[in-house]
Amino acid sequence: MNHSHDHSHSHSTHTHHSHSHSHEHYHASIESDSRSLKIAMACTASIFVAQVVGGFFSHSLSLLSDAGHMFADAGALFIAYMALRFYSRSHGNVEKLRKYTFGFRRIEVLAALVNGVVLLGMCGYIMIEAIERFFHPEEILSVQMLFVATIGLIANGISAMVLHKSHHLSTRSAYLHVLTDLLSSVAVIIGGIMIYLTNYYWIDSILSFLIASMIIRSAIRLIRTSGVVLMDSAPMTIPKQDIERELLVIEGVASVHDVHVWEISPGENTMSAHIVVPSEEHHDHILHLMKTMLAEKFSLHHSTLQIESQLYSDEQGCDGCSLHEKNETTDK
């Protein structure tokens, strides 16, 4: 029985160079995202202070609810920032890497999940408060409301620009927060203009409710994306059955079973499989063909393939759990 890990010996120079390049690119992306997050945190904290003060003075619920949104987002940005820094600093920690053999890529997935849950809780509070204000409206100073909302729009625009090309899930989740902030600022400005023209103060409550509804949609999407990764689901872009079919096409492969495909973190996919061959000859050649095919057709550069002889597979009962054999597949 032969166990293969990431790369065959005959291609070690090329693959190590590629791995080194990928490693350097990943750390460069961490530094880039970290800088963007620091800028966004500074903008968000400034907006939060301005909206709290402006919300109290103008009696605007939409400004205060947006301030609550900003507070949650400042926390979300901080979590995303700490997730990236933790991964970067822990990468060279030998003791931790012995325990967490896949590394710390999923820290950013956990951060994104926390962000989504925080957003959901915040939205519930905003909706309850908006309903109460709808039936008991308060006078709103629309000019002050407009002034603060405009400041928020400019600052959120800066944050969205620096986070737009984010590479990591935690940073992309922070970008979603900032994007909803940007849209919220636009909505508050529109609402402020309408209140100024009509003196219908209940507009503020409806606006707050609509902002919360918009945020809930983003939060659910974020929680779902994080949950899919944490459940080790097969990536939508790499169907398991397609991998099995392509493996069986390779000459010398008798059957394939125990195929698993999952995401360590978004965009970083890996797989494992048991490959049954009729004899022990030409293992390295078959292994090379499979590795090359997986990398070229599915962008699977990290795979663990266990090659078994037909005799070993029969003795272990492994082939009995096989869903795919070459003869069955080629007849279809």
Report percent pLDDT > 70 for the chain: 75
To which residue do tokens 């205060």 refer?
64
CATH number, domain containing residue 271: 3.30.70.1350
210-237 burial, b at 16+ Cβ within 10 Å, e below that, comes to ebbeebbebbeebbebbebbeeeebbee
**Cβ-proximal residues to 194 (8 Å cutoff; 6+ apart), any chain:** 200, 203
Taking a C-beta distance cutoff of 8 angstroms, is the pair 207, 191 a contact?
Answer: yes
Stretch 301-322: mean pLDDT: 71
- 225: in domain: yes
- 4: in domain: no
Residues 237-285: pLDDT tens digits?
A: 788 888 888 999 888 888 888 888 888 776 678 888 998 887 666 778 8
In whole angstroms, what is the distance from residue 230 CA to residue 232 CA? 5
Q: For residue 332, name the pLDDT band (cuts at 50, 70, 90).
A: very low
Please give the pLDDT value at position 197.
92
* Mean of the per-residue pLDDT values of the chain: 76
Query: Do 134 and 206 share a structural domain?
Result: yes
**Cβ-proximal residues to 69 (8 Å cutoff; 6+ apart), any chain:** 122, 126, 180, 181, 184, 211, 215
Q: Of 45, 62, 70, 316, which is closest to residue 209 (Cα–Cα)?
A: 62
Query: Do 154 and 245 share a structural domain?
Result: no
Taking a C-beta distance cutoff of 8 angstroms, is the pair 50, 132 a contact?
Answer: no
In whole angstroms, what is the distance from residue 281 CA to residue 307 CA? 11
In whole angstroms, what is the distance from residue 137 CA to residue 143 CA? 18
Which amino acid, 97?
L
The DSSP 8-state label assigned to residue 323 in this structure reads: S
Angle, CA 65 vertex, CA 60 and CA 66 arms, to 5°: 100
- 6: in domain: no
Query: Do 182 and 49 share a structural domain?
Result: yes
Residue 257 tokens, joined: 């079973």
First CA to last CA distance, the chain:
30
pLDDT at 87 over 80: no
To which residue do tokens 């609402």 refer?
191
Query: Do 252 and 215 share a structural domain?
Result: no
For the ranges 6-10, 27-31, 56-60, 215-219, the lowest mean pLDDT is seen at 6-10
Q: Of 279, 275, 278, 276, which is closest to residue 291 (Cα–Cα)?
A: 275
Query: Do 280 and 208 share a structural domain?
Result: no
CATH number, domain containing residue 107: 1.20.1510.10
The DSSP 8-state label assigned to residue 264 in this structure reads: E
Please give the pLDDT value at position 193.
92
Q: For residue 59, name the pLDDT band (cuts at 50, 70, 90).
A: confident
- 126: in domain: yes
Query: In the listed set 212, 230, 248, which residue is the last one of a domain according to the structure?
Result: 230
**Cβ of 123: how many Cβ atoms within 10 Å?**
25
* DSSP helix/strand/coil, 107: helix
What is the gyration radius of the CA atoms in the chain, in angstroms? Answer: 27
**Could you tell me the residue range of the domain that residue 305 belongs to?**
240-331
Cα 142 to chain center, whole Å? 38
- 278: in domain: yes
Cα 211 to chain center, whole Å? 23
62-78 burial, b at 16+ Cβ within 10 Å, e below that, comes to bbbbbbbbbbbbbbbbb
In whole angstroms, what is the distance from residue 100 CA to residue 102 CA? 6
In whole angstroms, what is the distance from residue 319 CA to residue 308 CA? 10
Residue 291 tokens, joined: 């590795």
